[in-house]
Structure formats: C-alpha cells, structure tokens
Amino acid sequence: MGEVKLFFGPNHPGMHGNFSVHLYVEGDTVIRARPMPGFLHRGFEKLMERRLWYQNLALIPRICVPEPDINEVVYALAVEKLANVEVPERAQWIRMIVLELARIAVHLMSMAGIGGPIGLYTGPYWGVADRDRILDIFENLTGARIYHMYIIPGGVRKDMTPKVQDMIVKFLDYLESRLPEFENLIFKNRIVQTRLKGIALLDRETAFEMGVTGIGLRATGIPYDIRKIDPYLFYDKVEFEVPTATEGDAFSRVYLKFKEIPQSIRIIRQCLEKMPEGKINVPISEGNALRYRVPKGSVYVHIEASRGEYGYYVVSDGGEKPYRIVVRGASYPQTLYGIEKYLPGTRIEDVPIWLDTMGVCSPEVDR
C-alpha cells in the first residue's frame, strides 16, 4: 500500500482556526505530519515592532482569537513593568474577572466542541450558545464581543457598571446549574469515553521534553499553574484549586477543562466581592498617548492562559515603538513539535482529537 497525502484543514470541523496539517498516510494510519500555519493571522512580532506602543492594542488580541484578552493583559503588564506604573486596585480586579470569563468561554467552546470530530453535535450547540452569554457580557463591558482592546497599560478602558456586574452574577448562577447537564451529555457518555480514553497520550516525560504547560501538563499529574506558581494581578488574594489528572490522555485533558470552570466561577465571585470603588486607570503618558515612549529596558512577563504559560519578552530602546517583542504562545510546543513528532502512528480519525484537546491556536506558531 502506497503513501497518500491528505490535506487536513483549514476547513475541517476538528481544526481550530485557519490552520492546516499535511498528513501522509498509509491506509488509516498517519506516517508523517507537517503543520502548515499562517493562513490568516501571522507575523505579529515584527508587526508590533513597526507600530507605536498604543497602536499595538488593536493588533495583539488577534494572536489568539478565542482568548484575545490574554494578549492585552500580558502586553499591559510588560509595559507597566518597564515604565514602573502602579495600576489602581479596582482595575486589577476587573482584569481578573475578564480573564476568568475568557477562560470559561474557551473551555466551553473546546470542551463541548470535542463533539464535532466524534459526532456528538449537541455538545457544540450547547457550548457555543452558553459562550455567547459571555460575549454579551463583554459587549456591555467593552463595546465589543471578540476583540475588546479593553485592558490597556495603566488599567482598563471603561469602568464596570452595576448592570454588567448583575449580568455576570446571573450568568454564573445559570452556568453552575448547567454544569451537571454538560457532565451527563459529554463525560458520562459511553461513546465519548470510548473515543477519548487512552487516545492522544502525552506522558509526563514527553510533556517536559516538549515544553507543554497548562492542561496538557496538569493531565500528567503536575499542578503547574502560573496563577499559583508566580501570581500576577491579585491571584494570590483569592482561593481556588488546580485540578489535575494522571492519565495524560484526551479524555483527562477535556475533563480538566470542565473541572476548571467551577474554579473560575469561584475566582470571579471573590473578585466581585473584593473589588473596591475607585479609579480604573492611571495616565502613563503626558500629552499625546500615541507618542508615548516606554523607558529603556527588557522584561519577560507570563500568565496562565487556558492552554498554558503565555508570555511576552519585550525590549524597549526608549523610543515610540517596541524594539523587540517575542511571544511565547502557550500552544506552540504541541502545535509544531507535537504534531510532527507524535501524530505519526495515529489513526486519521484521532488527529482532530489531538488538535482539540491540546488547544491548538495557529497564530501562536506563525507569530
């Protein structure tokens, strides 16, 4: 039997984003795999170095469309650290609320979206519908549903109104009531268990070798979470747990996404309780903000995205534009190295399961 080349994506329902994998197969088994990113968003690092500091606020959310707010906050934290800016307390709590809402939105889409490649189409319908409630909150808070450009150096762009707080509380109550239904539909489903358990295995040694963080690492029993290991914002002032598993398979990774949702709900409730009144930003420049100059220096800032450690290395030469920016995309190891090394030997129908449960976000590769 000869080797056949198949083009997986960028339109396959098991593929996330404008991203393709060239599969070389014999029968139903993958022999070689080559990731092909860059079908839409690409080259962000050089684009950022050619734009003014504030102009980048409209660019960076596109590095990962499902969770754009992580880029806003890590970029803002880097600028604030270089400029020695102290952000108002209220703004920090609001940032945490936005990040945890975004985490829930991604987990809903990914957790329920696993139904696409395995044929459980009720899951994506439910997940997308409930995620849309979070987008309603973002629209009322920021004026936009996806690309918010809300978290800025010095704080946040708009205050959180009582109406938005009420929307958040009602959504959290609603989602908590829905979680048992999601568990029954997906995780207690015998077909889902058969298709995901023991599939797309990633053991602890391989995860360390690849540099995988986030749920991919936590599914091997390592409770590594930047929010706990190196707290940023006010994560050291809230209580939450870091769920782990030991199997390292597709089922455990998806189930951990489900288990993280109640923890995010718990964090958001604490943020709403602890958040004081007061200022939401501080001016970091005098006069024209577009001509703002960041003091000379370099810094690496990292946070915990839904897919793992997400970092920016930022260098300023004291000018109006960044001198150098390097993005540490959370899904880079499993999207590039993982696909090439670990998809071979996989059956064709299990390829989308690897991509979905590993949280592939293609612009993090071709950035």
C-alpha to C-alpha distances, 75 to 3, 133, 184, nearest whole angstrom:
45, 27, 39
Residue with tokens 């449960």: 357
- Give the pLDDT confidence of 138-177 residue by residue, as tens digits: 999 999 988 999 999 999 999 999 999 999 999 999 999 9
CATH number (domain holding residue 98)? 1.10.645.10
Whether the bond between 10 and the residue before it is cis, its omega within 30 degrees of 0, is yes
Residue 366 lies in a domain: no
What does the pLDDT read at residue 111? 87
What DSSP state is assigned to residue 270? H
Q: pLDDT tens-digit profile of 297-332? A: 999 999 999 989 999 999 999 999 999 999 998 888
Contact criterion met (CB below 8 Å) for 66 and 106: yes
Q: What is the mean pLDDT of the chain?
A: 90
pLDDT at 236: 96
Q: Is residue 212 part of a domain?
A: yes
Domain assignment present for 285: yes
Domain total for the chain? 1
How far does the chain reach from its first CA to its final CA, in angstroms? Answer: 38
Domain contains 305:
yes
Residue 364, in any domain of the structure: no
Residue 239 lies in a domain: yes
Chain centre distance of CA 271: 20
Q: Is residue 363 part of a domain?
A: no
Residue 140 CA to residue 168 CA, distance in Å, equals 11
Nearest to 225 by CA among 212, 213, 237: 213
Can you give the residue range of the structural domain that contains 78? Answer: 4-358
Q: Is residue 367 part of a domain?
A: no
74-89 pLDDT, tens digit each? 999 999 999 999 999 9
Is the pTM here over 0.85, yes or no? yes
